[in-house]
Amino acid sequence: MASGLVVLVPIIVTVWVVYWLFRFIANLPLTQSIDDAALRVLITLAVFVLLVFAVGYLMRTAIGSLVEAGIDSVMNSVPGLRVVYNASKMAVETALTGTEDLQAPVKVNTWENIRMTAFKTGREAPDGRKLLFLPTAPNITSGFVIEVEEEDVIETDDTVEEALTRILSAGFGERDETPAGIPIDVVEERPGPEAKTDADDRPTTD
């Protein structure tokens, strides 16, 4: 159930935000003053696209970075909401840019009997150690770049999406796995020789 919420909630939130923004632009007095319905829709779409590009350009500046950091700080300070916010943010970023920039997830032995999820960067330190990105949970926009010996890196079969789901949901979105139970040897039951009846023991007479 948690895995389904992690997938569906970001999609629903993203669609709702896009719909609300589109309706907001369509209900502006300037837009409503246009009599032609088709032209009104085209202008609404044009304003929407320009607004998205303008916000995107603003976020690339120093002011945009401060605004984004402030928004992230506020959202991540609210329990529960930060999971939805980060999942929605990652869903949009993944849909627009894909996950090609993220290398295969691995496990790292940080302390004794403790493992943490990290991502390969494809780079190495001058001394040959592997450079990994160790994100925080559930806010993956921050983390640590660590240098790890190759023998301390544990390869996994997880995909990037599975690792992101686990981190964004703070572990609650882990894929369901059937726990291994106690092995039981199953012996196929074969029919044995038929039991002798009293009639079989009786002497035959001619």
- Does pLDDT of 204 surpass 60? no
Are residue 79 and residue 57 in the same domain, yes or no? yes
pLDDT at position 62 is: 79
| Residue 90 lies in domain | 2-97
pLDDT at position 8 is: 65
189 in a domain, yes or no? no
Specify whether the CB–CB gap between 133 and 153 falls below 8 A.
no
Strand, coil or helix: 141: coil
pLDDT at position 180 is: 43
| Residue 179 burial (CB count, 10 A) | 4
* Number of compact structural domains in the chain: 2
pLDDT at position 146 is: 85
pLDDT at position 183 is: 46
Q: Is the four-CA dihedral 10, 14, 16, 17 of positive or negative sign?
A: positive
**Pairwise CA distance, residues 76 & 84, whole Å:** 10
Are residue 109 and residue 88 in the same domain, yes or no? no
46 in a domain, yes or no? yes
Strand, coil or helix: 132: strand
The percent of residues in the chain predicted with pLDDT above 90, rounded, is: 0
- Choose the most confident range, by mean pLDDT, from 57-61, 125-129, 157-161: 125-129
Are residue 74 and residue 110 in the same domain, yes or no? no
pLDDT at position 182 is: 42
